[in-house]
Chain A
Amino acid sequence: MVKAFVAKSLDDCLNILNQENVKIVAGGTDMLIQNRTHSGIAIGFKTDVLYVSLVDELKHITEDKSNIYIGATCSLEQILENNLVPKILRDSILEMASPAIRHTATLAGNIGNASPAGDSLVCLYLLDAKLEIKSINSTRYQLLKDFILGVRKIDLAKNEMITKIIIPKINFDLVYFRKVGPRLSDAISKLSFAGALRMENNLVKDIRFAFGAVNIFVVRRREIEEKLIGIDKKTIKDMSDEIIGYYSEFIKPIDDQRSNKLYRKEVCSNLIKEFLEKI
C-alpha cells in the first residue's frame, strides 16, 4: 500500500522529505499519466508520495534588482499571467498543454520531470535559469543545465526539493520562441526553438540559441554563441549557413511516432534562419 503525505507548509515538506522516502507531486499532471492504471482503481504510484500543491509559501512570484523568483508550486497559468515573468517564458507556457492542465501543472514539475520534450526547459536554458533547492538543513543554488543529468534524471537528493526557479533579468532586443507541434495547441513538441539577442552600438552583445526535443538535453552551446559576439547586424543576418553548420553536430533528433529526424533537423535550421531574418 502506498502512503500519501499532504504538506501544508514548506517546513512540513522538508521534514517529510527528510524522514520518508517519497516522490514529490506538485500539479501531478505528468505523474498521474506516468502511473496510470485502469479507470476505477487507484493511481499506480510505485513509491510513497508527497503532495505539495497546498504549500502557500511556494506560490509567489517575486523580484529583486537582478532576478525573478518563481515559487515551485505556482501553476503555469499563474506564471503566464504575471508581468514580472519574461515574455519569452510566458510565450512558451502559452503553448503548453491545454488551459485545464496549465491551471494545475507547475514549472518546477516540468523541470523535475526532465523530459527532452519539456516545453518550458528551452526558454529556461536560454535565460540561464537557476534553481533554489532546499533540504531540512541546507539551501543550495544550481544552474538548471547542471541540474538536469539526462532523460528523467535530475541532481536532487532524496531529502531535497526545488523551492524556486530563479530567472536573471536581462533586457533583450529580440526574443523569439517557436514550438513546432503536430497541431496548433495541446500537443507534445516535435521540436522547439528559442532565440534571444541583445545589441550594443549595432554589434552583437549577447546572442542565444536553444533547441528542444532534438537531443537528450536542451541544446544550448555557449561557445558557439560567444563566437558571434561583436559581429555587426548586417553580417550576422547573413550568417545562417555558418551558424546552422556550428549547431549541426549537436542537433541529433530521432525518428518516433510524432515525426522524423530529417524533418526535425531541417526545421531547426529553418528556425535559425527565421530568427536571423527577424534581426
Chain B
Amino acid sequence: MRDISTSINKVDNDEKTSGKAIYVADIKLDNMLYAFTVRSKIAKGKIIKIDYPELPLGYYIVDYKDIPGKNIVKVIFDDMPIFTEGDITYLYEPIALLIGPDKAVLSKLFAEVKIEYKEEEPVFAWKDSVIHYHFDKGLGKSALEEGKIIEYVYQTGYQEQAYIEPQGFIGYLETDKTTLIGSIQCPYYVKNAVIQALGAKDDEVRVIQAAVGGAFGGKEEFPSLMACQLAVALKKIKQPIQLVYEREEDMLVTTKRHPSRINFKASIKDNKINGLSVHVGIDGGATIGLSGVVLSRALIACTGAYAIDNLDVSGDVYKTNTVPNGAFRGFGAPQMFFAIEMFVEHIAMELGLDPLEFSKSILAKQGDYTSTMGVFRDPVLMPEMIEKALEVSDYNNKKTMFKKQQNLKGVGMSLFFHGCGFTGSGEKNIIKAKVRLKKQFDKVEILIAAVDMGQGVKTTFRKLVAHILEIDIDKVIFNNPDTDFVPDSGPTVASRTMMIVGGLVARATKEVKDRWNEGSFVVEKQYEQPDYIKYDESNFKGDAYPAYSWGVNVVEVEVDRFTYQVKVNKTWAFYDIGKAIDERIVIGQADGGLAQGLAYGYLEVMNHDKGKIMQKNMTDYIIPTAMDMCSMETYLYENPYAYGPYGAKGVGELSLIGGAPAVAKAIENAIGKKVFKIPVTPEYIMELMKNGKD
C-alpha cells in the first residue's frame, strides 16, 4: 500500500478552477433581498438622532430594537453588540441593516440616512488595559537582579487576512427554522451565536457552509456578527436576504491581526540567558472578543524555540476606539516569534557571540520544560533541521560573505514552533469535539464541522478514511458541513483540524473497519484529552498544548541601495509536522504560509489614522504577487505524534510564523543595522541606514 503522504489531486480542483464552485455571492433565491450596513461615521460618542429616509414599500430598517434575544455576539469574551444601542466605540460600528430588493435604490437610500452624534474624544493610545495576565517560571523577576542586563523593545503592525472572497452570508426561513449559508470557518460558532441572538431553540437554527474563498482566521469569529444581524432581519422580514461585503467595506470593518509592542529584558550569566522578563501589549480594538486568547498564545511562546529557566511574563490587551482585532493564522505567535527571534539575535550580537551558535546552545530539547512548566514530550528534531538548513542554504558562508560585500545582500534564519490545537484546556473543557461516520453499504460518509477553506480538508479527510479502510476515495463522502447533519467537531482553527479532528476520525474509522461486515451503521467518537496533559488556565501552569510542530526558515534578500526596496531571492524551509497526510497539500500550505509570513515582515503595511484604516483596498494594501516571490525549497520531517492520525500534527499556522523574523534578520545582515519593528519597509530601512544601531 502507498504511503499516505503520497500526493493525490485535490478533490475540489475541478470545481474551483473551472468556476463551478458556489460561493455565497453566487446564490440567488426567489424574492431575495439585499442588505447594506448602516455604520457610524465617528470613532467615539453617542447617537443623538437618526433620520432615515422614507422607505418605499418592501424596504426595511433592522436595528437593535428588532433583536428577539440578547444583543451580544457570542464569541469567547462576549462584549460586541450585534447592533449598537447608541454608544459608538469605533468608526464604522454597525447601527442597522437597510434591506430591500434593488441595490441601486438601496444605495440611494443609504446616502440619505442622517445621523446626529454627540462626539467624544476617542482613545487610540494603549493605556486602557482590559485584560492583564502575569505568570512566572522558576525564580521569576528575581533572576533579573544579577548579571548583565540587556533590554530591547519590538513592535509589529496590523496584518489583513486578505482572503480572496470577502465576508458574506445568505439566509432564509424554513417554517420555524432560520437557515444561514455563509463563508465561514466555524459553523457551530455561528449557530450558537445566532441561537443566543434570537433566543431560539437548538433545532431552530441551521448553518451551512458555502464554498469558502480563503479565510486565514478572518472567518473565525467575525462571521458570527454578520450572521446574528442577518438572522434578526430574517425574523422580521421573512424573506431571503443576502449580506455580502464589498472589498472596501470588508477591509475597513473586519478583524485584523493585533498590532503589538513587546518589551524584553534579559539577564546574562556565563553567556546564557539567566532570566527573561517580557511584557506584551496588544491593541484589542474596540471590543475584547478573542484578544485574551491571542495574548495567551503570545505569552506562552515568549521563550521562542529555547529553554529558559527563569521567566517573568506579563501582558495586557488594550482597548482603543479602533476596529476590533481578532483571529489571524498564528494567533499571537507571529508577533512573539518575531520579537524573541530578534531579541536572541541582538543579545548574541551584544555579547559578541555568533547568533546561531548562541541560539543552538539554548535550544529546547525533548524533556525540557516549556514556559508554563509543561514538557516537550516528543523528540525535538531542530538540531537535525538546522544542520540541513546550513548545508543546503550555505548559510554560514553567505552570512560572513554578505557582511563584507558592497552590495546589500543578506541572509537570515528563524527557529520556531507552534503549539498545536487550542491553548490550554480548550479542547477538553470548551470544544469537546465530536465526529460521526456513517457507513451505508460500501460507502462511508464523514460528518464533521471542519471547513475546507482552501487548505484541503475535503481531500485529506477522504484520503485518511479511504486509506485506513483500504477502499477507493470515491467511496468516501464529505459534503460541506451543515449543522443539521454534522456534529460539533469544533471550529476550523488553531492548526487542530487534522491532528484533533483527524485523530478522532481515524479512531472512528478503525471501528468502522472492524465492523465492516455489519452493513449500515453510525460510529461516533468524542475527544478525550491524553491523561498526561494537565493545564491550569488561571496560573498558566502545565501543558498548554498536547504537541508542537517545529520549523526553521532561511531567507536570502537583496536590498536596493538606491531605493531600499527588498527583493527576496530565495527561501529554504524545514518543518516537523509529524506526518504529512498529503505532501503536496502540506507544501502548498507551507509555501503559502511562508509567503504570508515574509510579507508580514517586509511588505504588508496597514495603519489607522484617527481610527480609520488607511489601506482600505487591494490597491493600497500590498500583498506579494508572483513577481515578489521567489524559488522556495521546502523540506518536511516526520516525527509522529501518538494521537494524531498517522502521527500528524498541526500544519496550518506553523509556516507563517518564521517568515517575518527570518526576513528581518536577513535585512539586518544586508544593511548592518538592527531591526526593531515589522514590516521592514523601504522607508524604515532608509531611516535605519541613516540613524540605526549597528
Contacts and interface: CB of A to CB of B under 8 A. Distances in A.
A270 interface: yes
Nearest to A273: B562
B169 to A, nearest CB: 15
Contact of A188 (B244, B567, B619): B619
Given A257-B620, A263-B686, A38 B562 contact: no
B563 interface: yes
A180 B603 CA distance: 14
B563 A178 contact: yes
Contact of B622 (A38, A182, A262, A271): A182
B605 A184 contact: no
Given A38-B103, A40-B103, A183 B562 contact: no
Contacts of A180: 563, 565, 682
B605 A182 contact: yes
B625 A185 contact: yes
A73 to B, nearest CB: 25
Interface string A15-56: 000000000000000000000011111100000000000000
B628 A183 contact: yes
A42 B104 contact: yes
B577 to A, nearest CB: 29
A37 B603 contact: no
Contacts of B615: 257
Chain A residues touching B, majority SS: loop
Given A184-B625, A188-B619, A258-B620, A38 B564 contact: no
B246 interface: yes
Contacts of B625: 183-186
A178 B624 CA distance: 19
B107 interface: yes
Interface string B587-621: 00000000000000001010000000011000110
A183 B563 contact: no
Contacts of B628: 183-185
A258 B614 CA distance: 9
Given A183-B628, A257-B615, A262 B246 contact: no
A194 to B, nearest CB: 14
Contacts, number: 68
A224 interface: no
Nearest to B599: A183
Contacts of A185: 625, 627-628
Contact of B562 (A186, A259, A267): A267
A183 B683 contact: no
Interface residues of A, number: 27
B563 A38 contact: no
Q: Which of B104, B561, B562, B625 has the most CB of A within 10 A?
A: B562
B612 to A, nearest CB: 10
A82 interface: no
Contacts of B103: 38, 40-41
A42 B104 CA distance: 8
A263 B620 contact: no
Given A182-B622, A183-B624, A186-B625, A270 B562 contact: yes
Contacts of A41: 103-104, 107
Contacts of A182: 603, 605, 622
B107 A184 contact: no
Contacts of B562: 178, 267, 270-271, 273-274
Nearest to A40: B103
A258 B627 CA distance: 19
Contacts of B620: 188, 257-258
Contacts of B567: 184
Contacts of B246: 38-39
Interface in A259-276: 259-260, 262-263, 266-267, 270-271, 273-274
Contacts of B605: 182
B153 to A, nearest CB: 22
Nearest to B620: A257
Contacts of B622: 182-183, 187
A260 B563 CA distance: 13
A185 B567 CA distance: 12
A183 B107 contact: no
Interface string B227-264: 00000000000000000101000000000000000000
A36 to B, nearest CB: 9
B25 interface: yes
B620 to A, nearest CB: 5
B599 to A, nearest CB: 9
A40 B104 CA distance: 9
Q: Which of A187, A257, A260 has the most CB of B within 10 A?
A: A257
Contact of A271 (B34, B107, B563, B624): B563
B25 A259 contact: no
A185 B686 CA distance: 21
Contacts of A257: 614-615, 620
Interface in A237-277: 257-260, 262-263, 266-267, 270-271, 273-274
Interface in B553-567: 561-565, 567
Contacts of A258: 620
Contacts of B107: 37-38, 41
A263 B682 contact: yes
A214 to B, nearest CB: 13
Interface string A164-192: 00000000000000101011111110000
Contacts of B686: 262-263, 266-267
Contacts of B565: 180, 184
B503 to A, nearest CB: 40
A265 B620 CA distance: 20
B567 to A, nearest CB: 7
A78 B34 CA distance: 41
Given A182-B605, A263-B686, A39 B563 contact: no
Contacts of B561: 270
Nearest to A182: B622
B257 to A, nearest CB: 18
Interface string B555-585: 0000001111101000000000000000000
A186 B624 CA distance: 10
B99 to A, nearest CB: 14
Contacts of A273: 562
Contacts of A262: 683, 686
Nearest to A38: B103
Nearest to A272: B562
Contacts of A270: 561-563
A39 B25 contact: yes
A52 to B, nearest CB: 25
A254 to B, nearest CB: 13
A183 B603 contact: yes
A263 B562 CA distance: 11
Contacts of A40: 34, 103
A273 B246 CA distance: 44
Among all A-B residue pairs, the 5 with the closest Cβ atoms: A185-B627, A270-B562, A257-B614, A263-B683, A182-B622
Given A183-B628, A258-B620, 6 more contacts: A37-B104, A182-B605, A183-B627, A257-B614, A267-B562, A271-B562
8 contacts: A38-B107, A183-B625, A183-B627, A187-B622, A258-B620, A259-B683, A267-B562, A271-B562
